[in-house]
Amino acid sequence: MTCVRGASALEDLLKALPGKPVAALVIWETVGPAPSVALPPLRTRVLARVRDPRAAQLWDPRQLVSSALREAAATQAGWPARGLHTDSSGTIWDTVLVFPPGSRWTDAPPKPVYAGSLVEDVMDEVRKNLH
């Protein structure tokens, strides 16, 4: 439930910054070991928590983003890895990252300027790091 509240907190942040050029990406994922079976699609009421047109929402039941971020944090210098919240299987969740303008995700994710968790608790920090 804290994650769903995190989505609402992100929506509130975007609402508080009308007109600001910022792109938000919400990665919905499962927590725990990646499931081997197909999962049902996300419920509309969960998706409806983020309505700002600057936000895109993707469904990542295979935890591909978590794995990519975990590997980048482990192999690239200077990652704010302490802000990554992981479960016992290593899945990064209830975590928010801020990337500066000009960042591009090529083979690996770029380095964020900020990473924090739990999402609903760190929106002030996210806001401070949006330049």
Partner 1 sequence: MPRRRAIAAAVAIALAALLGAFAWHRSELSRSGDVRLESASLDDVRAAFNARPGEPRVVALLSPD
Binding site for partner 1 (CB under 8 A): 3-4, 6-7, 10, 13, 21-31, 38, 41-48, 50-62, 64-66, 68-69, 92-106, 109, 112, 119, 126, 129-131
Q: Which is nearer to partner 1, 27 or 78 (CB)?
A: 27
CB of 123 to partner 1, least distance (A): 10
Q: Which is nearer to partner 1, 45 or 78 (CB)?
A: 45
Rounded Cα distance, 45 and 83, in Å: 28
CB of 77 to partner 1, least distance (A): 20
Q: Which is nearer to partner 1, 60 or 81 (CB)?
A: 60
CB of 47 to partner 1, least distance (A): 6
Asked if 122 contacts 104 with a C-beta cutoff of 8 angstroms, the reply is no
Rounded Cα distance, 94 and 49, in Å: 15
Task: Please count the other Cβ atoms lying within 10 Å of the Cβ belonging to residue 28.
Answer: 17
CB of 67 to partner 1, least distance (A): 9
Q: In this structure, what are the phi and psi dihedrals at residue 115, rounded to the nearest 5 degrees? A: -140, 135
Q: Which is nearer to partner 1, 60 or 77 (CB)?
A: 60
Rounded Cα distance, 67 and 116, in Å: 17
Asked if 30 contacts 69 with a C-beta cutoff of 8 angstroms, the reply is no
